[in-house]
Amino acid sequence: MPILTARTLITAIGTVEYPAITIGPTGLIEDISTDPTIRSTAILTPTFLDIHFHGAAGEDLMAATPEGISKIQRFLATRGTSHYLPTTVTAPIDDTLRALEHLADAIEHPSAPGEATPLGIHLEGPFLSHIKRGVHPTELLQKPSIALFDRFQQAARGHIKLLTIAPESEGALELITYATHQGIRVTMGHTNATAAETNAAIVAGATSGTHTFNAMRALDHREPGIVGVILDRDDLFSDLICDGIHVAPALVRLWFRLKQEKAILITDAMSATGMPDGEYHLGSFAVTVKDHRCTLTDAPDTLAGSVLTLDQAVANLQSFTNATLAQAVRCASSHPARMLGLEDTIASLRPGQPATFNQYTPEGRLEATYLQGHRT
């Protein structure tokens, strides 16, 4: 049986020096031992899980064909991402239902070798704030509705695993409670919520904040709002787009210092990711991409997703905050897995689990990804 060796193995809870990892015929880890005679200088880490991802490689997940989704998943694997949540964007209800159906098809169809795996769907919109809607069109936003959510979940065949909602909206607390009781994680975003409204949503079951700082009520010294609550509460996860465009490095440092084990890196990547500058689409919206900055073509002051990849986000977090490779990798692997309740199966790196690793050089450069024991 093949044995994969390295100088260091970074796991969700610690490190193993001089690991020798035995990989079984089905691509599972059979044993992890140590051997001080190993001469490898490589560093092995968990692969990445992107919980907020709209597309890449010229393909948009709201309308991608099966071939397009496969293209996206191959691209993700080249950037160290083994699992992801395909994420919707606000659209006409019928368009959203069709998108959920084809994303459910992708989830139920096993990914080909060398491709990332979709774990479930992140429903971003239409239950968002008109004031903090970002690119989401105001005429298509909806009041939180259990009946409409049920239509979405039926189309998704039960695969919605994460819901972004503005907690101050009428009916939001009822939907948060309802979704939470179904085992769905609820994250608060595109919101103008006050601190009191945010805390009420947490009591109802919300567990996280969506792209922290972006499309949120600004922090104020007398009304801390949702950002103040997210930064203050130790029990709340918080995800962030760490590209140096969406959030200034000084605030990335503050966020990381305060959130630590609840910090999650996301990309919010759209179809232009991995592509040259030009004109693209995020759902039905025209987007102009120039110098890594994505903006609505008809509203160039409005950011529209990103072209970030998680390997770059991990590198940026280290650069902006002096985080170690282990700390940064966990923000893109074990932390999102824990938020989703998947910590026992994703990024755990223990016998019986898939032999799925990222391999780094001693200088911290991603040089290879292994999916179920196979180098991609």
| pLDDT tens digit sequence for 38-65 | 999 999 999 999 999 999 999 999 999 9
Residues β-bridged to residue 44 = 9, 359
Give the pLDDT of residue 283: 82
Q: Confidence class of residue 304 from pLDDT cuts 50, 70 and 90?
A: confident
**Are residue 35 and residue 124 in the same domain, yes or no?**
no
Share of the chain above pLDDT 70, in %: 100
Within the chain, residue ranges assigned H as helices are 66-78, 93-108, 146-155, 172-181, 195-204, 225-232, 249-259, 310-321, 325-331, 334-339
**Are residue 15 and residue 107 in the same domain, yes or no?**
no
pLDDT digit string, tens, across residues 69-109 = 999 999 999 999 999 999 999 999 999 999 999 999 999 99
**Are residue 19 and residue 134 in the same domain, yes or no?**
no
Q: Which of 200, 95, 308, 357 has the alpha carbon at shortest distance from 346?
A: 357
Terminal C-alpha separation, the chain: 19
Q: Annotated catalytic, 268? A: yes
Q: Which of 339, 194, 172, 323 has the alpha carbon at shortest distance from 257?
A: 323
> Counting beta carbons within 10 angstroms of the beta carbon of residue 230, is it exposed (0 to 12), middle (13 to 18) or buried (19 or more)?
buried
Give whole-number Cα distances, 20 to 3, 39, 152, 259, in Å. 6, 11, 46, 33
Enter the tokens of residue 150. 């049920």
Residue 368 in domain: yes
Give the pLDDT of residue 344: 86
**Are residue 145 and residue 242 in the same domain, yes or no?**
yes
**Are residue 223 and residue 366 in the same domain, yes or no?**
no
Give the pLDDT of residue 298: 85
Feature table: binding site for substrate: 135, 214-215, 222, 246, 303-305
**Are residue 188 and residue 104 in the same domain, yes or no?**
yes
Residue 353 in domain: no
Residue 250 in domain: yes
Catalytic residue among 239, 243, 268, 311, which? 268
Q: Confidence class of residue 150 from pLDDT cuts 50, 70 and 90?
A: very high
For the cut 70, the answer to whether the pLDDT of residue 6 exceeds it is: yes
For the cut 70, the answer to whether the pLDDT of residue 132 exceeds it is: yes
DSSP secondary structure string for all residues of 95-153? HHHHHHHHHHHHHHSPPPTT--EE--EEEE-SS--STT-TTS-GGG-----HHHHHHHH
User: In whole angstroms, what separates CA 375 from the centre of its chain?
Assistant: 23
Residue 132 in domain: yes
Enter the tokens of residue 18. 């001089």
Residue 143 in domain: yes
Residue type, 300: P
Phi, psi at residue 50, to the nearest 5°?
-100, 115
Average pLDDT over residues 227-252: 98
Give the pLDDT of residue 335: 98
Which residue is listed with tokens 């085992």?
183
Q: Confidence class of residue 237 from pLDDT cuts 50, 70 and 90?
A: very high
**Are residue 167 and residue 275 in the same domain, yes or no?**
yes
Pairing label, strands 160-165, 185-188 = parallel
Average pLDDT over residues 202-220: 97
What CATH number does the domain containing 245 carry? 3.20.20.140
Which residue is listed with tokens 């709340």?
236
Mean pLDDT of the chain: 96
**Are residue 11 and residue 85 in the same domain, yes or no?**
no
Are 120 and 339 in contact by the 8 Å Cβ rule? The answer is no
Angle at 280 between CA 77 and CA 277, to 5 degrees: 75
**Are residue 9 and residue 135 in the same domain, yes or no?**
no
Residue 354 in domain: no
Domain count for the chain: 2
Please tell me the distance from the alpha carbon of residue 68 to that of residue 57, in angstroms, as a whole number.
9
Give the pLDDT of residue 2: 86
Phi, psi at residue 287, to the nearest 5°?
-130, 135
For the cut 80, the answer to whether the pLDDT of residue 261 exceeds it is: yes
Feature table: binding site: 124, 135, 190, 211, 214-215, 222, 246, 303-305
- Please state the pTM of the whole predicted model: 0.97
Phi, psi at residue 118, to the nearest 5°?
-80, 130
Residue 351 in domain: no
**Are residue 26 and residue 91 in the same domain, yes or no?**
no
Are 30 and 2 in contact by the 8 Å Cβ rule? The answer is no
Share of the chain above pLDDT 90, in %: 93
Residue 356 in domain: no
**Are residue 185 and residue 207 in the same domain, yes or no?**
yes
**Are residue 70 and residue 171 in the same domain, yes or no?**
yes
Please tell me the distance from the alpha carbon of residue 335 to that of residue 261, in angstroms, as a whole number.
7
Give the pLDDT of residue 1: 61
Identify the domain containing residue 7 by its residue range: 3-43+361-375
Average pLDDT over residues 203-218: 98
Please tell me the distance from the alpha carbon of residue 218 to that of residue 236, in angstroms, as a whole number.
18
